[in-house]
Every structure is written in C-alpha cells, then in structure tokens.
C-alpha cells in the first residue's frame, strides 16, 4: 500500500528539542519506519523550510521525505504557517494527480487542511491525527496562545470532513466529540516507543555515559522536553526546595552553545535562583537522540509536569527504560501511566504534590524497582511501534473498506 504522510511543520528528519520539533516529528518518523517494515511504501510530505535540504531524501528506515515548496524556503514559526497551506495543498494535488496514494494521513491540523485540499476530486481517503487541539491550548494558555484565530473553527470542520480521526488518547476523543466529531469516525491510536533503544539494561545507568552529566547529589530527577513554559519545568524546580539531596537535570531546547541566549532557559534559571536551588539544577540543552536512553536510566525518577499534554512520549520512554515516573494527571498521560503501578499521577502546577511523590519514591528503592519493572512490561505490551503500526494499518483498512471503491484498495493491503 502506498501511504502519504503529511506533516507540514514537523519533519521526521529534524533534531528533537527545538521549539517546533518534538513528539510529532518522532511520531511521524517512527510510524513511517514501522509501516515500511510491514512492507508498505511511505512518503512523508513536509514543508521545505531549510534550503540546505534536497527536494527529496530517503530516510535510513526506508520512507521517502518530500520537501514541499510552500512559503519561503526558510524556517517559519509553526503558528505562522497557515497562509501557506493552500499552496501546500495545491502542490499535493498536483503530485497526487500523477501518482495517487492509497490513503493519506495528516498530522496536525494544518496538515489536515492541506490533505483535504490535495485529495479533492481524487477519491483518496484522508485520515487525521491532530497531536494537539487548539481548544485545549487556548483553555490553558489564554492570551499567551499564539495559534491563528481560526484554528478552533477549522479543527471543528476538519474533524467532520476527514474519513477517520486517529486520536492519540481517550482525553482527545472526549474533546473532539464536544467539538462535533462523530464517535463513529474516531479511534485511539497512541504514540509508541522504540523498545530496542529504550531498555532496562543497566549498562547506561552510570553518569559517565556519553551525554549524561556527572551526578552531583545523592538522588537525580530527569525532565526532558522542549523548553517552553507549558512543559512545567518550573514546577519541578520549585519542588527541589523540599528535596535537599536531589538534583534536577533538564534536557531539551536549543544546542548547549545557544542556551545563554535562550529566553526560557534564562527564566528557569531565575526561578531556580529565587528558590535557592540553582546549584542543583542542570539544563543540558539539546542532547543527541542516541544519548537519551542513558540519560533516562541515570535518573532515580523521571518527572513530566506539563500544564497539559496531548500525549507525552518521555514518560513512555522512561517506562520502557525501567525508570519510575511522576507525571501530572493531564491529557494522554492519564492513559499511559497507571497510578500506583508504573508511576505516580499528581495534580498539574502543584510543586508540593510533586515533592511529596518524589520524596516517597526516592526513599524507597524497592518501590522504584517495582514501578520500573511494571512500566517496562506495560510499554512492551501496549506501546511498541510494531503494535502502533498494526493498529494504524487496521484503521487504514477500515477506511478503505468503507470507501466508494473498496475492492481494489483493500486488495492492496
């Protein structure tokens, strides 16, 4: 089957950790790779925002990445891309008119708009993964939300016009239903984890491993993600006041040599100084993907404390690494983490609750081992990329079977 993935701002080739490069990039890359392993032909379409990139490039995992000329051939902030989506969709329509894919899968709302425009009059079924919803972002960020004003309205329309929505968590299904997306056209297909990369092998647990800062305190909490306020790293910093023998390692953001000029890094360091814990906070900046498993295994606990989170890949990677997690009870995190079994759920924006949960885990090595073991088993049984690809393929099959010309397309499966 020929699958067209569309990810307008999140290239699967991008380095993770920057402001507009995170879980969606990884999701598209890993899902595309897993579908290729199942024998499918996968082409990923992303905006041509880097003049150093060729028009087409084949990734090592076998999928092809096509850089679509829409807007300037330079980086453009994600929230400023909407004016270029008609151009993006028209380019897709021209390309798909010459070589029609069996199915289209849009990632993020603007990709979905481009997919619908590109598939017009071609009879190509369109599936959609939102990754995040504007209504949720607006609820939590208020006037700080920089999304286009039309985002919520366009997402409502998109949810009713695509053939199927693949939501990443049950919380997203509820949100979409309130927006008018029919339950009958939604399925939950979460993000996955690379179980061969993220393992419970202790060989990477020493802090001398590449990319892992030397340990300076008895206990270590690790937090990973893009350096943006909603990730809640300030909550973890505040919790250190009640954890005197614990250090916090925050990984993500710009390259290490750019941290001094990064606004969010400066804000977090000011907060750390204000709480008197600056000597126990280490912000690494962007780290190499192949160093991430060792960094997670160097932790006694991995903390993920966002205000809201559509899915949350980091806790899943920590669980696969056999490390206990503490996460805020928001969004997809309530699906992934089983409270009291694989980790602890705490209220959002509650540093005292985080400190209390961390104190309990840090004082009990046996409990940490039990959570870590259960987390690994849960990751392996539910969240392998092969399982996620199988779930996705099953939904593709369902959409094709419901299309106007099912026989030819289903035979391609």
The pLDDT of residue 51: 86
The pLDDT of residue 207: 54
* Cβ atoms of residues 103 and 394 within 8 Å: no
The pLDDT of residue 16: 47
Handedness of CA 24, 30, 34, 39 (dihedral sign): positive
* pLDDT above 80 for 331: yes
**Region 178-192 average pLDDT:** 96
The pLDDT of residue 387: 97
Q: Measured between alpha carbons, how far is 293 from 285 in angstroms, rounded to an integer?
A: 16
Q: Which of 343, 404, 392 is nearest to 1 (CA)?
A: 392
In CATH terms, 2-192+384-411 corresponds, of 3.90.228.20, 3.10.20.600, 3.20.20.30, 3.40.50.2000, to: 3.40.50.2000
Provide the 3-class DSSP secondary structure of residue 182.
coil
R_g over Cα of the chain: 21
**Region 341-364 average pLDDT:** 97
The pLDDT of residue 213: 92
Q: How many CB atoms lie within 10 A of CB 217?
A: 15
* pLDDT above 60 for 407: no
Topology alike, domains 2-192+384-411 and 202-382: yes
Pairing mode of beta strands 56-58, 64-68: antiparallel
* pLDDT above 60 for 278: yes
Q: How many CB atoms lie within 10 A of CB 50?
A: 14
* pLDDT above 70 for 178: yes
The pLDDT of residue 410: 36
Q: Measured between alpha carbons, how far is 170 from 77 in angstroms, rounded to an integer?
A: 29
pLDDT digits (tens, 9 = 90+) for 10-30: 999 874 444 445 689 999 999
* pLDDT above 80 for 405: no
Per-chain mean pLDDT for the chain: 92
* pLDDT above 80 for 208: no
> 167-171, 184-188, 400-404: lowest mean pLDDT where?
400-404
Task: Report the half-sphere exposure of 391 (CA within 13 A, side-chain side).
Answer: 19
CATH topology of domain 202-382: Rossmann fold (3.40.50)
Pairing mode of beta strands 41-47, 2-6: parallel
The pLDDT of residue 301: 98
The pLDDT of residue 363: 97
pLDDT band at residue 289 using 50, 70 and 90 as cut-offs:
confident
pLDDT band at residue 186 using 50, 70 and 90 as cut-offs:
very high
Q: What is the DSSP letter of 122?
A: T
Specify the pTM.
0.88
The pLDDT of residue 9: 94
pLDDT band at residue 268 using 50, 70 and 90 as cut-offs:
very high
* Cβ atoms of residues 47 and 110 within 8 Å: no
The pLDDT of residue 326: 98
pLDDT band at residue 46 using 50, 70 and 90 as cut-offs:
very high
The pLDDT of residue 248: 98
Which has more pLDDT, 327 or 408? 327
The pLDDT of residue 411: 37
DSSP state string for 217-278: SSEEEEEES-SSGGG-HHHHHHHGGG-TTEEEEEE-SS-GGGGGG-HHHHHHHHHHHHTT-G
pLDDT digits (tens, 9 = 90+) for 67-80: 999 999 999 999 99
**Region 295-311 average pLDDT:** 93
* pLDDT above 60 for 183: yes
pLDDT digits (tens, 9 = 90+) for 88-118: 999 999 999 999 999 999 999 999 999 999 9
Element (H, E) at 334: helix 333-336
List, edge to edge, every strand of the sheet that includes 281-285.
Answer: 281-285, 246-251, 219-224, 301-304, 325-328, 343-346
pLDDT band at residue 135 using 50, 70 and 90 as cut-offs:
very high
Domain boundaries, the chain: 2-192+384-411, 202-382
């Amino acid at each position: 089957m020929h699958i067209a993935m569309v990810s307008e701002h999140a290239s699967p080739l991008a380095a993770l950790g920057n402001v507009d490069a995170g879980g969606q990039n990884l999701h598209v890359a890993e899902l595309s790779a897993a579908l290729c392993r199942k024998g499918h032909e996968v082409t990923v379409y992303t905006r041509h925002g880097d003049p150093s990139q060729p028009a087409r490039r084949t990734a090592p995992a076998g999928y092809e990445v096509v850089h679509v000329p829409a807007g300037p051939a330079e980086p453009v902030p994600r929230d400023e891309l909407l004016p270029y989506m008609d151009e993006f969709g028209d380019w897709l329509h021209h390309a798909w008119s010459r070589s029609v894919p069996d199915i289209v899968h849009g990632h993020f709302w603007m990709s979905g708009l481009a997919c619908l425009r590109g598939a017009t009059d071609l009879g190509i079924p369109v599936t959609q993964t939102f990754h995040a919803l504007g209504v949720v972002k607006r609820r939590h960020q208020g006037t700080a939300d920089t999304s286009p004003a039309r985002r919520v309205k366009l997402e409502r329309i998109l949810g009713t016009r695509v053939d199927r929505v693949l939501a990443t968590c049950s919380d997203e299904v509820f949100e979409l239903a309130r927006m008018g997306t029919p339950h009958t056209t939604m399925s939950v297909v979460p993000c996955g984890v690379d179980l061969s990369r993220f393992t419970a092998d202790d060989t990477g647990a020493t802090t001398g491993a590449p990319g892992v800062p030397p340990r300076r305190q008895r206990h270590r909490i690790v937090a990973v993600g893009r350096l943006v306020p909603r990730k809640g790293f300030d909550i973890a910093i505040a919790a250190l006041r009640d954890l005197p023998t614990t250090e916090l390692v925050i990984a993500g953001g710009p390259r290490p040599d750019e941290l001094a000029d990064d606004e969010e890094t400066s804000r977090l360091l000011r907060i750390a100084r204000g709480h008197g814990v600056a000597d126990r906070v280490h912000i690494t900046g962007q780290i190499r993907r192949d160093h991430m498993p060792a960094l997670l295994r160097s932790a006694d606990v991995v903390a993920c404390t966002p205000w809201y989170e559509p899915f949350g890949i980091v806790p899943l990677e920590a669980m696969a690494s056999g490390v206990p997690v503490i996460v805020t009870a928001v969004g997809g995190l309530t699906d992934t983490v089983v409270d009291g079994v694989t980790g602890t759920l705490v209220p959002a924006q509650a540093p005292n609750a985080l400190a209390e949960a961390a104190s309990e885990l840090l004082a009990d090595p046996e409990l940490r081992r039990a959570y870590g073991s259960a987390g690994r088993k849960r990751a392996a049984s539910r969240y392998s990329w092969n399982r996620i690809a199988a779930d996705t393929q099953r939904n593709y099959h369902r959409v094709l079977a419901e299309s106007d010309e099912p026989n030819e397309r289903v035979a391609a499966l």
